[in-house]
């Protein structure tokens, strides 16, 4: 099967995995992963670093294998492969998936270090153009078509999640298709490469790598702030490329003049060409993005569901796409049609209304009321199955929603030790994977607690 198929499967898996892991764990270990390849009995997941690879392999391989196996309808072994990190703040636009698709054709000059993989769907064609991003998109197209001519450098800025990375990768892919050498990296990768080159005495190799492409595309320039030596190296890299007529495109979260800690001489050079911003999309644009994303996934998205999602996230396209992926995954998980009722329940299950830690005593009362079991019984010694199930549910919610330490959860439930609490929490976490009704059950309890 093609990489695109693996990515579609992985998007669905990510939506389901978000049910089973906490938001911090998802953001730390799963957010920047990709579906690389799928074949009978095996699935390969791309991860950004060796650390993430080891953590997922040791702690989540079983859950990921079960999730992929459930989607494919057959037992599947999962392997994790390092692909290089895309960096912070991958701003996505309309048709991008929650995780990115690996591109075997990397836009990079010859180097012993693998380049950041490009998302094959991050193209100009898939970028949804609106008034909020029209100038940035037009300038990016011009820079790709005629590098080094009109807008050099091109500096694009916006808050996270509005499409900056999409445009950078679209430029890189357009250049690659025209046999034009392009290098796309994050400023974090530029910094790491520079530090490594200094430590290993390979400065000449570093400079050949970064000063030879016809287009240099640097994502998230704000991460150079405070790194004086790296800023100095980038200054000379910029001057060398610009004087040779090579195109430089930079993205940041603020305009050059608004980046505290950025050297004045860099700020000045970033404003030599064109500075273009991307604003949050209006309601119609958000609907168009959702429509494009749903069409890409071959999902029939009702208009009322699209409006519900568009209303939930007004200023971050990446999060908007994430909501769509979650709702689609939830509908698939419980084998329900994707309608407004299903979407509402999915949003409640994935994003509980409360953002602050829940009151543990209110949670206990909600569990007690839902199961018809007194709080005293939850804290008692009985191991009768109905009481034990309610107690495990209480442990899970106290840990996840009230964010209590294991010892605190144990104290509230009859002075139980931390190993007992861990067992109860893990039991509910595993059950969420095999019992799709459990997510709805937890949603009902949470809603009762919120209305207390």
CATH number at residue 173: 3.40.50.300
Neighbours of 340 (CB within 10 A): 13
Whether residue 287 sits in one domain with residue 272: no
Whether residue 149 sits in one domain with residue 30: no
Helix (H) or strand (E) holding 120: none
- Closest Cα partner for 131 from 276, 17, 324, 27? 276
Q: Reduced to 3 states, what is the DSSP secondary structure of residue 46?
A: strand
What is the per-residue pLDDT across 340-390, written as a single tens digit (0 to 9) for each? 988 888 887 655 444 578 899 999 999 999 999 999 999 999 989 899 999
Read off φ and ψ for residue 180, nearest 5 degrees: -110, 130
Whether residue 287 sits in one domain with residue 273: no
Whether residue 241 sits in one domain with residue 296: no
Whether residue 256 sits in one domain with residue 300: no
| Alpha carbon separation from 277 to 157, 163, 410 (Å, rounded) | 5, 11, 51
Whether residue 299 sits in one domain with residue 269: no
Whether residue 263 sits in one domain with residue 149: yes
Structure tokens at 288: 């168009």
Query: CA-CA distance, 206 to 80, in Å (whole number)?
Result: 29
Whether residue 141 sits in one domain with residue 261: yes
Half-sphere exposure of residue 448: CA atoms within 13 angstroms, side-chain side: 18
DSSP letters, 174-203, are HHHHTT--EEEEEHHHHHHHHHHHHHHT-H
Whether residue 321 sits in one domain with residue 219: no
CATH number of the domain that 7 lies in? 3.30.300.180
Query: CA-CA distance, 123 to 171, in Å (whole number)?
Result: 8
Place of tokens 């991050």: 122
The answer to whether residue 317 sits within a structural domain is yes
Q: Are 324 and 11 in contact (CB under 8 A)?
A: no
Q: Are 359 and 439 in contact (CB under 8 A)?
A: no
CATH number of the domain that 411 lies in? 1.10.1750.10
Whether residue 299 sits in one domain with residue 225: no
The answer to whether residue 129 sits within a structural domain is no
| pLDDT recorded at residue 260 | 79
Among residues 277, 308, 341, which one ends one of the domains? 277
The model carries a pTM of 0.55
Helix (H) or strand (E) holding 236: helix 228-243
The answer to whether residue 119 sits within a structural domain is no
Q: Are 35 and 43 in contact (CB under 8 A)?
A: yes
| Alpha carbon separation from 35 to 44, 213, 327 (Å, rounded) | 6, 29, 19
- Which has more confidence, 173 or 354? 173
Task: Give residues with Cβ within 8 angstroms of 50, minimum separation 6.
Answer: 82
Q: Reduced to 3 states, what is the DSSP secondary structure of residue 437?
A: helix
Angle between helices 203-211 and 187-200 (to 10 degrees): 150
Whether residue 401 sits in one domain with residue 266: no
The answer to whether residue 30 sits within a structural domain is yes
What is the per-residue pLDDT across 50-86, written as a single tens digit (0 to 9) for each? 778 888 888 888 889 988 988 888 888 999 988 754 4
Q: Reduced to 3 states, what is the DSSP secondary structure of residue 218?
A: strand
Whether residue 401 sits in one domain with residue 374: yes
Q: How many helices (H) and strands (E) does the chain have?
A: 20, 8
| pLDDT recorded at residue 218 | 94
Among residues 350, 369, 388, which one ends one of the domains? 350
Q: What is the DSSP letter of 325?
A: H
What is the per-residue pLDDT across 85-138, written as a single tens digit (0 to 9) for each? 443 333 333 332 222 223 333 333 333 344 456 777 788 988 888 888 999 999
- Closest Cα partner for 128 from 336, 267, 242, 291? 291
Q: What is the CA radius of gyration of the chain?
A: 24
Read off φ and ψ for residue 125, nearest 5 degrees: -65, -35
pLDDT at 23 over 70: no
The answer to whether residue 432 sits within a structural domain is yes
Domain count, the chain: 4
The answer to whether residue 116 sits within a structural domain is no
The answer to whether residue 97 sits within a structural domain is no
Among residues 300, 330, 350, which one ends one of the domains? 350
Domain containing residue 300: 283-350
Q: Name the region of 266 (left: φ>0; alpha: ψ -120 to 50; beta: rest).
A: alpha
The answer to whether residue 385 sits within a structural domain is yes
What is the per-residue pLDDT across 144-153, written as a single tens digit (0 to 9) for each? 988 988 889 9
Euclidean distance between the first and the last CA atom of the chain, given in angstroms as a whole number: 50
């Amino acid at each position: 099967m093609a990489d695109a198929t693996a990515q579609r499967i992985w998007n669905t898996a990510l939506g389901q995995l978000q049910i089973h892991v906490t938001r911090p764990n998802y953001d730390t270990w799963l957010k920047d992963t990709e579906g690389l390849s799928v074949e009978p009995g095996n699935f390969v997941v791309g991860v950004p670093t060796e650390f993430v690879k080891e953590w997922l392999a040791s702690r989540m391989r079983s859950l990921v294998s079960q999730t992929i196996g459930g989607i494919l309808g057959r037992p599947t072994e999962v392997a994790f492969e390092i692909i290089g990190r895309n960096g912070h703040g991958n701003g996505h636009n309309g048709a991008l998936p929650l995780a990115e698709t690996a591109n075997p054709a990397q836009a990079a000059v010859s180097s012993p270090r693998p380049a950041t993989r490009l998302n094959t769907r991050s193209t100009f064609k898939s970028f949804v153009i609106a008034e909020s991003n029209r100038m940035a998109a037009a300038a990016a197209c011009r820079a790709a078509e005629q590098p080094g001519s009109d807008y050099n450098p091109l500096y694009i800025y916006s808050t996270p999640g509005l499409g900056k990375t999409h445009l950078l990768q679209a430029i890189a892919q357009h250049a690659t298709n025209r046999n034009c050498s392009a290098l796309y990296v994050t400023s974090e990768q530029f910094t790491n490469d520079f530090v490594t080159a200094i430590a290993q005495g390979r400065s000449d190799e570093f400079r050949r790598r970064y000063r030879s492409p016809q287009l240099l595309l640097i994502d998230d320039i704000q991460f150079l702030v405070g790194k004086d030596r790296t800023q100095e190296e980038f200054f000379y890299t910029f001057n060398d490329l610009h004087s040779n007529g090579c195109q430089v495109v930079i993205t940041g979260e603020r305009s050059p003049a608004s980046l505290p800690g950025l050297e004045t001489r860099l700020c000045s050079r970033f404003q030599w060409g064109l500075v273009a911003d991307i604003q949050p999309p209006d309601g119609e644009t958000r609907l168009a993005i959702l429509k494009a994303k749903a069409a890409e996934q071959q999902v029939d998205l009702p208009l009322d569901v699209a409006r519900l999602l568009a209303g939930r996230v007004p200023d971050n396209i990446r999060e908007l796409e994430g909501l769509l992926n979650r709702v689609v995954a939830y509908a698939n998980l419980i084998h329900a049609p994707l309608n407004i009722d299903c979407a509402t329940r999915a949003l409640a299950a994935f994003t509980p209304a409360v953002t602050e830690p829940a009151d543990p005593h209110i949670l206990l009362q909600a569990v007690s009321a839902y199961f018809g079991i007194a709080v005293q019984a939850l804290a008692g010694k009985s191991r009768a199955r109905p009481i034990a199930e309610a107690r495990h549910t209480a442990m899970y919610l106290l840990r996840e929603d009230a964010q209590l330490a294991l010892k605190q959860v144990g104290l509230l439930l009859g002075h139980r030790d931390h190993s007992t609490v861990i067992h109860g929490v893990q039991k509910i976490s595993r059950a969420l994977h095999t019992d799709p009704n459990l997510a709805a059950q937890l949603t009902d309890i949470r809603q009762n607690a919120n209305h207390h």
